[in-house]
Amino acid sequence: MTPEHSGKAEESPRQRLLSAGTPMCAGCGGLQALHQIYDQVGEKTVFVNAAGCMTLLSIYPYTPFRGSWLYTAMACAPAGAQGVRDALDVLLSKGHIDAGQDQLPVVLTGDGSAYGMGLSATSAAIDRGLDFLYICYDNEGYGNTGHQYSAATPAGARTATSRVDGYTGVKKDLFAIWSAHRPAYVATVIGTEPADLARKVKKALSLRGPRLLLVLAPCPTGWGFEPSRMVEIGKLAVESGIWPLKEYSDGQVRHTRVPAKRAPLEAYLGLQGRFRHMFVPRRNEEQLAALQRQVDDYWEHID
Amino acid sequence: MYRIRFHGRGGQGIKTASRILGTALFIEGFEVQDAPRYGAERRGAPIFAYVRADTHPIHERGVIHRPDLVVVADETLLAISPAQVLEGVTDSCVVLIYSAKPEAWWRQQLPDIAQIVVLVPLESLSVAIPVGALCAGAAAALLGKVSAEALAHAVEEELSAHDAAMVESNRKAILAAYMEVTPWRGLVCSSLPLGVAQTPPPVWVNVPHDAVDIGAPVIHAGATSGLVKTGLWRTRRPVIDRERCRRCLQCCAWCPEGGILAGADGWPVIDYEHCKGCLVCAAQCPFQAIGVIPETQAEGGADAQTADRK
């Protein structure tokens, strides 16, 4: 973006910091958000990446990152971030690097790790007050292995391991779990709301301690929609109220966008193959009403 | 033994195709292996799947390097060397290509390939059927060992998680593809299992130990992934119409690849070397200024665009 084209400079840089050429699927909502986040967090970061779709970002000898990247097993990315932080602290204390060369450990995992396998290591890292940023790209299933259900899969969604009537559990509330630890910052974001996302990244970067950016990542492959509809579906997730945009800091939860009039949930569900069984061969009125009621109940208590 | 190798793109149903063919062969009494290659099953990316079938126990495993039948669900893959479509194709191997272009055209394009069969897109189909499924039907006919009944059963079995209407439309389409190549029924010949005698010994290369900063899989430069040309995944191409574009640059913000950048003059420029063809930009452009054309109609265009940017 040229300076004379003012006003849009933040939205449209000449060059994105995160390089193209990654093996993420066409239309990946997680990659869209990561581009926006990386433009702000920059290259003075050490990404600690648990196994998942985004492990494939860096396949030797290729990486889209300008800064450092480290791969860990699925359950232990926050422990990896602790090691990186400790190592940097040792280098700082011995004078091998100065404060200007310090880097931010950034954990990057999918929902399988963030909501499930890695939760213990995450909880412990927050307990220790680890100074790190956690980015979870939540595509509501184990996307890299064929989209089996995870603890983040919403009720009723078909996955590779819940093929007929969909997932019978409920989506775990990771925002509440993180907030209950009283960390520095927790926020839900989505790449299709770039202004809200940019403000939250900025806020997260202004704080120290454990910080989570929980990104809903519309997934054409796992959710069953045409890649071209990714932004439409992301916007509907927010407008229908099923993905509330909110943040936690200083013991308070604030909703950053309260839809004045929520779109009907089925407008969101109906665009996705994983919910198709609720519409054909016949509409499952009971299930559709129950899911709508859950969204309505949530917002009833929000100002 | 029959060795069948499927080539297509993520989203075409290549894995399902291999399963349908494998199950049909199994119903006919064969011992069968079917497996996709794991690792790059991304929409639009080159996908491989393998089927082996034999009347005796199969002792081979893994990737098929010497196929008896190669199935090409997307003809544009033939021009892409990493897709390795023609790897190990001998004169006894049949190459089935799903294409609207006539067989004579393909013979001219691929003079070294002895046996080419073209499956033309079936215009009689009223609903969109994954190309992979059609190819599975045609492949079954080329083998000459699968009855239409076994094929129909295999479709029902493999698609059992889907609703009845979808199974039915797929079954019809697959059987239509099966009938379409009936003149070549049984064209594919089985070949002998490869024993130790037929397998060339591995060539050992002694690699001296390097210092850890050279020998370890550490990447010492940033942003190297730009060297990977993911534009090869694209089957449809977004094209910006400058008559309509108002340079709002929303497309730059929405592109999940970071693949649309603002040029110095303020016009958005699509990076065709990396654009995967998700078409989010075309769907979201508030001025309908981004059109979509099939990649096959844009040949040569990529180079011109790239030159533009430089």
Distance, in angstroms, between A100 CA and closest chain B CA? Answer: 19
Mean pLDDT within B173-179: 96
> What local confidence, expressed as pLDDT, does residue A4 receive?
36
In sign, the C-alpha dihedral spanning B27, B33, B38, B40 is negative
Residue in A62, A231, A280 nearest the CB of B283? A231
CATH top class, domain A29-300: alpha beta
Q: Which chain B residues have a beta carbon less than 8 Å from that of A27?
A: 43, 256, 276, 278-280
Find residue A190's DSSP bridge partners. Answer: A216
| A35/B266 Cβ within 8 A | no
ipTM computed for the complex:
0.92
Q: Which chain B residues have a beta carbon less than 8 Å from that of A164?
A: 161
- Both tokens assigned to A10: 């933040």
> What local confidence, expressed as pLDDT, does residue A2 receive?
34
> How many residues are there in chain B?
310
Q: Which chain A residues have a beta carbon less than 8 Å from that of B234?
A: 26
Mean pLDDT within B67-89: 92
> What local confidence, expressed as pLDDT, does residue A12 receive?
44
Q: How many CB pairs under 8 A join A and B?
A: 158
Q: Which chain B residues have a beta carbon less than 8 Å from that of A162?
A: none
> What local confidence, expressed as pLDDT, does residue A284 receive?
96
Residue in B250, B259, B282 nearest the CB of A20? B259
Q: Which chain A residues have a beta carbon less than 8 Å from that of B257?
A: 20, 22, 31, 35
Nearest CA in chain A to B255: A32
Mean pLDDT within B118-139: 89
Strands (DSSP E) along A101-209, which ranges? 104-110, 132-138, 185-190
Q: Which chain B residues have a beta carbon less than 8 Å from that of A40?
A: none
| B249/A60 Cβ within 8 A | no
pTM, rounded to two decimals: 0.83
Q: Is A253 helix (H, G, I), strand (E, B) or coil?
A: strand
Kindly report, residue by residue over A94-139, the tens digit of the pLDDT: 999 999 999 999 999 999 999 999 999 999 999 999 999 999 999 9
| B258/A26 Cβ within 8 A | no
Residue in B40, B222, B279 nearest the CB of A227? B279
Q: Is B97 helix (H, G, I), strand (E, B) or coil?
A: strand
A7 inside 8 A of chain B by CB: no
CATH number of B2-184: 3.40.920.10
Distance CA A251, CA A233 (A): 31
What is the residue-averaged pLDDT of chain B? 90
Asked whether the predicted pLDDT for residue B294 surpasses 80, the reply is yes
Amino acid identity for residue B118 in this structure? V
Distance CA A169, CA A149 (A): 10
Domain B227-309 architecture = 2-Layer Sandwich (3.30)
> What local confidence, expressed as pLDDT, does residue B201 receive?
84
| Bigger pLDDT: A88 vs B200 | A88
**DSSP per-residue codes, A34-61:** HHHHHHHH-SSEEEEEESSGGGGG-BTT
Distance CA B8, CA B230 (A): 16
Q: Please give the distance of CA A232 from its chain centroid, rounded to a whole number.
A: 17
Residue by residue, what is the 3-state secondary structure of A191-243? CCCHHHHHHHHHHHHHCCCEEEEEEECCCHHHHCCCHHHHHHHHHHHHHCCCC
Residues B77 and B83 sit within 8 Å (Cβ to Cβ): yes
Residues B87 and B30 sit within 8 Å (Cβ to Cβ): no
Nearest CA in chain B to A279: B163
| B256/A21 Cβ within 8 A | no
Distance, in angstroms, between B6 CA and closest chain A CA? Answer: 19
- The residue among A16, A215, A235 with the most chain B CBs within 10 A of its CB, best to mutate, is A16
A236 inside 8 A of chain B by CB: no
Domains in chain B: boundaries: 2-184, 227-309
